[in-house]
Amino acid sequence: MPSPSVVTVGNAIVDIIAKADDAFIQDQGMEKSAMNLIDGDRAKSLYDAIGPAMEVSGGSAANTAVGIANLGGDSGFIGKISEDVMGRIFRHDISAAGVDFPPAYAEDNQTACSIILVTPDTQRTMNTYLGACLTLTPDDMNEELIAGADWVYLEGYLFDAPEGPACYQRAADIARANNTNVSVSLSDAWCVDRHYDALTKFLADHTDLILGNEDELHSLFPDADSLDTRLARLPELAGEAAITLGAKGSIAVTAHDKVRVDADQTIKVVDTTGAGDLYAAGYLFGRQRQDSLERSAEIATIAATEIISHIGARPQDDLSAKLG
């Protein structure tokens, strides 16, 4: 296997996806459309309370690695599972998708799961039990994979693990020593809020490319008064950024360039889970093969469009066939 061009680092999660109405989200005290962190007991009681579900491998950065492989790229994934049923499912699915995943195993904790509730507005509200992911350490940052890659991609959610910031630093050190570009996903507006100082310092010091959405950008620049102002300030933190705007499309920016790509308005949106992850997959796939910002944002839109047309954050179609 050639050294993957893009290596993503994140929480290794199996998604448990069910439909729910807004009243349920409210009654359960969840932050809607956000990633809510829960413990094992809460995961059990919440599972008992939800409707019929399906299980699909997930995890933000893992979804991105799978998307890149599905587009025809070479990708790898770094994350931690346990040797349990959900861990076997996670490992099978990501490996079968063509992603290079040398698994790291936690000794005691269970493989992480996220109970994802999809409301009639197609928004997803996540309830994540991190389990084995909480034990990720800098030693798990596979030096060979990151050193051999053109890009390493770190999800913001990693900051929720005790040694997440140290993992970020270790990944950045390996990247710098080996001319590997560093990209970061902002992941979630509340996650940006939780880890604001450490995350923004990392972005400014080590990051070549930021991926995020409008809400996350707002959390990044809470005192700025408009989207344009926020976009204009991105070069303070990274040379390049791609920001998704939901149904309004997306914008890719550098200090000198700004391109906008429309969303596909023709499809029926079923479940927005993974939209940002697959956008990131398409964008990174384009950039690692030297496509323009605009073409990369177009590929990103194609990948995100496929993922929101069905339940689950892993592609069901062959994305490479959609590139034209």
Site residues for a copy of itself per CB under 8 A? 18-19, 47-48, 50-57, 66, 84-86, 89, 92-94, 96-97, 310-312, 314, 316
**Shortest approach of a copy of itself to residue 160 CB, angstroms?**
25
Q: Which two tokens stand for residue 281?
A: 């997959």
Q: In terms of C-beta density within 10 A (0-12 exposed, 13-18 middle, 19 or more buried), how is residue 121 classed?
A: exposed
- Closest CB to a copy of itself among residues 229, 316: 316
CA distance 33 to 219: 15
- Please check whether residue 282 is in contact with residue 33, taking contact to mean a CB–CB distance below 8 angstroms: no
- Closest CB to a copy of itself among residues 115, 237: 115
**Shortest approach of a copy of itself to residue 322 CB, angstroms?**
15
C-alpha distances in angstroms, 297 versus 217, 221, 244, 250, 300? 17, 23, 9, 7, 5
**Residue 259 is inside which H or E element, if any?**
strand 258-261
Going by their DSSP bridges, the two strands 151-155 and 6-9 should be labelled as parallel
**Shortest approach of a copy of itself to residue 16 CB, angstroms?**
9
- Closest CB to a copy of itself among residues 86, 172: 86
**Shortest approach of a copy of itself to residue 276 CB, angstroms?**
20
- Please check whether residue 21 is in contact with residue 122, taking contact to mean a CB–CB distance below 8 angstroms: no
- Closest CB to a copy of itself among residues 92, 201: 92
- Closest CB to a copy of itself among residues 118, 136: 118
**Shortest approach of a copy of itself to residue 81 CB, angstroms?**
14
- HSE-CB of 97 using CA atoms within 13 angstroms: 34
- Closest CB to a copy of itself among residues 19, 32: 19
- Closest CB to a copy of itself among residues 18, 167: 18
Q: Which residue has the tokens 């940006």?
A: 192
The count of residues in the chain is 324
Q: In terms of C-beta density within 10 A (0-12 exposed, 13-18 middle, 19 or more buried), how is residue 203 classed?
A: buried
**Shortest approach of a copy of itself to residue 91 CB, angstroms?**
10
**Shortest approach of a copy of itself to residue 290 CB, angstroms?**
28
